Amino acid sequence: MNASDVFGFADALGPARIIHVYEPSAGLKGILVVDNVARGPAIGGLRMAPDVSVAECFRLARAMTFKNAAAGLPHGGAKSVIFGDPKMPGPDKERLIRAFASSLRNERDYIFAPDMGTDENCMAWVKDEIGRAAGLPSDLGGIPLDEVGATGWGIYQATEIAARYCNMKIDGARVVIQGFGAVGRHSARFLAQAGAVLVGASDSRGAVYNPRGLDVSALMELKKTGKSVSDVTAGEKRDRDAVIDMECDIWIPAARPDVINAANASRLNTKLIVEGANIPVTPEAEKFLHEHDVLCVPDFIANAGGVICAALEYRGVTQAMVFSSIGEKVRSNTEQVLEAVTTKAIPPREAALELAEQRIRKAMSYRRWSLFSSADN
């Protein structure tokens, strides 16, 4: 019997381990999936959510294997989940997270990081329990990656490289950004600093359009007061999803998964999409865009700034060095992927997966287990 018969989803890359944690007296139920550790101990987020299946946890862990390998990090991929409402009272949350971390004390191949429903305080509790956590509060040597804009910085670098493949310059390029949170607002900031013109932006409550350019600093200030980008006076207020139709040169999704799909991909009026959010464009829509000459830089190539920041923080690297490393890695990966797109005439996602998989397989060839692989043949 091969592995895929047992799990239904296992393949030649993993998962290496699936651990169920169940402590009825503590009300603790959780899962850890360590997918592949050939490149080093796996880094991946701890999610707190009411219900996540093992298969979904595996898919998220696999995405981290690809993202970490594509980013050139000496880390494999993993994901963990605690079943529960992330908005539960603080002391209950702390108790569960500490218990979960303690029960995984000996899983030395897994380094915790924050994800949906967990934050830097949760990572401080994990660090206190077992010592292995990234994404810590700055008091503990952490780098507040959403505050400093680590992912936005990487998005800017990927955009700069990709623009060249579209015969465009950032200076004067018209940009639209969907979602004005940590990823969206910092992408806007770095692009505007390089001369791009933000003509449209949205958040969960609405959108705003100004073909002469929006003031990025004013939008950032407005968001700090709890208002929507659509409340800005120097622009036309639009419905939230009208952001898809806004004509521009560069369109950046930085909000939710699957926002561009088979039903709305033809509404986009842009030359370049740089995926800031995770899986913002469905496979069908990516295919449609590729066939219509819209270049789409895949999420795990463009938005790796956050995980690069977390991995380097874990090694005690300073913030200035983190920014230069994100720039170097994201630029070089974007270039490699887009070169393969040009020379092999393949879609960007296929090129990105090839790049990541090549690195993972190479790392696997150095492992003891590769000596056993002839036994399968």
- Minimum CB separation of residue 357 from ligand NAD in Å reads 20
Query: Closest residue (Cβ) to ligand NAD?
Result: 181
Which stretch, 74-82, 95-103, 123-131, 175-183, contacts ligand NAD (CB under 6 A)? 175-183
Work out whether 155 is an interface residue with ligand NAD (CB under 6 A). Answer: no
Work out whether 144 is an interface residue with ligand NAD (CB under 6 A). Answer: no
Among 107, 120, 146, 160, binds ligand NAD (CB under 6 A): 146
Closest to ligand NAD by CB, 99 vs 113, is 113
3-state helix/strand/coil string of the chain: CCHHHHHCCCCCCCCCEEEEEEEHHHCEEEEEEEEECCCCCEEEEEEEECCCCHHHHHHHHHHHHHHHHHCCCCCCEEEEEEECCCCCCHHHHHHHHHHHHHHCCCCCCEEEEECCCCCHHHHHHHHHHHCCECCCCHHHCCCCHHHHCHHHHHHHHHHHHHHHHCCCCCCCCEEEEECCCHHHHHHHHHHHHCCCEEEEEEECCEEEECCCCCCHHHHHHHHHCCCCHHHCCCCEEECHHHHHHCCCCEEEECCCCCCECCCCHHHCCCCEEECCCCCCECHHHHHHHHHCCCEEECHHHHCCHHHHHHHHHHCCCCHHHHHHHHHHHHHHHHHHHHHHHHHHCCCHHHHHHHHHHHHHHHHHHCCHHHHHHHHHC
Work out whether 303 is an interface residue with ligand NAD (CB under 6 A). Answer: yes
Rounded to the nearest 10°, the torsion over CA 112, 113, 114, 120 is 90
Among 117, 200, 306, 348, binds ligand NAD (CB under 6 A): 306
Work out whether 365 is an interface residue with ligand NAD (CB under 6 A). Answer: no
Among 28, 254, 337, 341, binds ligand NAD (CB under 6 A): 254
Work out whether 276 is an interface residue with ligand NAD (CB under 6 A). Answer: yes
- Minimum CB separation of residue 240 from ligand NAD in Å reads 5
Closest to ligand NAD by CB, 127 vs 185, is 185
**Which of 114, 84, 91 is closest to 21 using CA atoms?**
84
Work out whether 72 is an interface residue with ligand NAD (CB under 6 A). Answer: no
Among 35, 107, 203, 286, binds ligand NAD (CB under 6 A): 203
What is the pattern of x (binds ligand NAD, CB under 6 A) and - over residues 320-359? ----------------------------------------
Among 124, 197, 255, 272, binds ligand NAD (CB under 6 A): 255
Q: Which residues are catalytic?
A: 79
Which stretch, 123-131, 176-184, 289-297, 333-341, contacts ligand NAD (CB under 6 A)? 176-184
Work out whether 202 is an interface residue with ligand NAD (CB under 6 A). Answer: yes
Closest to ligand NAD by CB, 107 vs 146, is 146
Closest to ligand NAD by CB, 61 vs 364, is 61
Provide the phi-psi class of 358: left if phi over 0, else alpha when psi is between -120 and 50, else beta: alpha
Closest to ligand NAD by CB, 36 vs 230, is 230
Q: Which residues bind ligand NAD (CB under 6 A)?
A: 145-146, 151, 178-184, 202-204, 240, 254-256, 276-278, 303, 306
